[in-house]
Amino acid sequence: MDKIKRRKSRQIRVGNVLVGGDSPISVQSMTNTPTTDVKATVEQIKRQERVGCDITRCSCPDRDSALALKEITRQVNIPVVADIHFDYRLGILAAENGAACLRINPGNIGGADRVKTVVQAAKDYGCSIRIGVNGGSLDKKLLEKYGEPCADALVESALEQAKMLEDNDFREFKISVKSSNTLMMIDAYKKLAEKCDYPLHLGVTEAGGLRAGTVKSAMGIGALLMEGIGDTLRVSLTADVEEEVKTGYEILKALDLRHRGVRIISCPTCARRGYDVQKTVEELEKRLSHIAAPITLAVMGCVVNGPGEASHSDFGVCGGHDDNMLFVKGKPYKKVKDENIVDELVNLVEAKAKEEK
């Protein structure tokens, strides 16, 4: 099977996570607790960590939020990106207080002198920077030039801001050109990928709720990843922050780019099914959500595709009307009753995950 050939990008460091080059595509999220509430923010980041989040981001709208990063970063294991807008002094404070990366828009934090000051703070404290361009907050002159938000405007804005950092001899940055319009976002990233070698942070911004946002993000992020574009990603959902991380991994798993946790292959069911496949899958998803090891599980309702899918999976079950067959590495293992399917599969998966630790 052909593998996706990734675009060659330069590599930067976000704390202890490498982004770009040949490093794994990292999965990001963001906190939605007040950053000044250290306890709540740390608890939320810990939840993100448990589902595999590589990098998280905290809003720093004021001085107290930037100062709170000092205590937050001491208590968590993943790098924290400080989300900075308008006030360049907050970027400096965030760098001083433990931020691994500063998410800024160089164009909205003031003139060249202020950009230079923030860049110097990033250099002094070992921070990288993310240039964050958003279709909803483009510079007025670009809107006048293009008439409306568009891919070309996003790319021009990104390259202008990249030059501001380059002019200060700083290249430890990644770029995002996000839009809530999926097609615009795809077009912008493709054009940007041709014009620079900086690592790209993918995302469909303001994607929506769990279902709609997942679909939009999978379409936008997935389309780019299929062409080898993208070094790190965030799925922006109006949902629990853990869902952002889980969805990010599902997109990567679907394209065989990165594997974490149990991948369940299940049939849509039909009249041939030998047991309640839907209920079984729902239970398995809940009971195996803590597994980090990359394990594939085939949950099939009947013999039409069951043995075939099981042959490509670590474990599988094929329906047989209360006489269901479990498979291990494609080979028949044992027969089980309907009520025992979930327990048997959970035991097999947990035992394998323990072996691989």
> Do residues 212 and 279 share a domain?
no
Token pair in block for residue 117? 């000051």
Confidence bin at 288 (pLDDT 50/70/90) = very high
- What is the share, in percent, of the chain residues with pLDDT greater than 90? 83
- Report how many domains make up the chain: 2
Confidence bin at 130 (pLDDT 50/70/90) = very high
Considering 201, 226, 254, which residue would you say is the last residue of a domain? 254
pLDDT at site 1: 52
Residue 72 in this model has a pLDDT that exceeds 80: yes
> Do residues 229 and 127 share a domain?
yes
C-alpha to C-alpha distance for 304 and 337, rounded to whole angstroms: 19
- What is the share, in percent, of the chain residues with pLDDT greater than 70? 99
Considering 254, 280, 298, which residue would you say is the last residue of a domain? 254
DSSP secondary structure letters along 18-42: EESTTSPPEEEEE--S-TT-HHHHH
318 DSSP β-pair partners: 300, 325
From the list 223, 240, 317, the residue with the least C-alpha distance to 276 is 317
Do the domain assignments include residue 311?
A: yes
CA dihedral 64, 70, 75, 81 (to 10 degrees): 80
3 state SS of 131: strand
> Do residues 207 and 223 share a domain?
yes
* Residue 338: other Cβ atoms inside 10 A: 17
Amino acid letter for position 155: V
Do the domain assignments include residue 6?
A: no
Burial of 34 (0-12, 13-18, 19+ CB in 10 A): middle
Residue 136 backbone dihedrals phi, psi, to 5 degrees: -90, -5
Residue 2 in this model has a pLDDT that exceeds 80: no
C-alpha to C-alpha distance for 22 and 7, rounded to whole angstroms: 9
Residue 311 in this model has a pLDDT that exceeds 90: no
> Do residues 239 and 280 share a domain?
no
C-alpha to C-alpha distance for 219 and 212, rounded to whole angstroms: 11
Do the domain assignments include residue 7?
A: no
pLDDT at site 135: 84
Q: What is the DSSP letter of 99?
A: -
pLDDT at site 214: 96
Residue 317 in this model has a pLDDT that exceeds 70: yes
Task: Please tell me the total number of residues recorded for the chain in this structure.
Answer: 357
Query: Which pLDDT tens digit goes with each residue over 166-179?
Result: 999 999 999 999 99
pLDDT at site 351: 95
Query: Which pLDDT tens digit goes with each residue over 212-267?
Result: 999 999 999 999 999 999 999 999 999 999 999 999 999 999 999 999 999 999 99
Amino acid letter for position 104: I
C-alpha to C-alpha distance for 131 and 294, rounded to whole angstroms: 32
pLDDT at site 339: 94
Instruction: Out of 103-107, 120-124, 174-178, 281-285, pick the least confident.
Output: 103-107
Average pLDDT, the chain: 94
Mean pLDDT of 39-65: 97
From the list 136, 122, 105, the residue with the least C-alpha distance to 207 is 136
* Structural domain that includes position 341: 262-355
Considering 209, 237, 254, which residue would you say is the last residue of a domain? 254
Q: Which of 100-109, 185-194, 315-324 has the highest mean pLDDT?
A: 185-194
> Do residues 188 and 328 share a domain?
no
Do the domain assignments include residue 4?
A: no
C-alpha to C-alpha distance for 23 and 258, rounded to whole angstroms: 11
**CATH number, domain containing residue 312:** 3.30.413.10
Give the residue carrying structure tokens 């319009």: 181
Is 109 or 158 the better-scoring residue by pLDDT? 158
Residue 142 in this model has a pLDDT that exceeds 60: yes
Contact 114, 85 (CB under 8 A): no
Do the domain assignments include residue 232?
A: yes
**Which contiguous run of DSSP H or E holds residue 264?**
strand 262-266
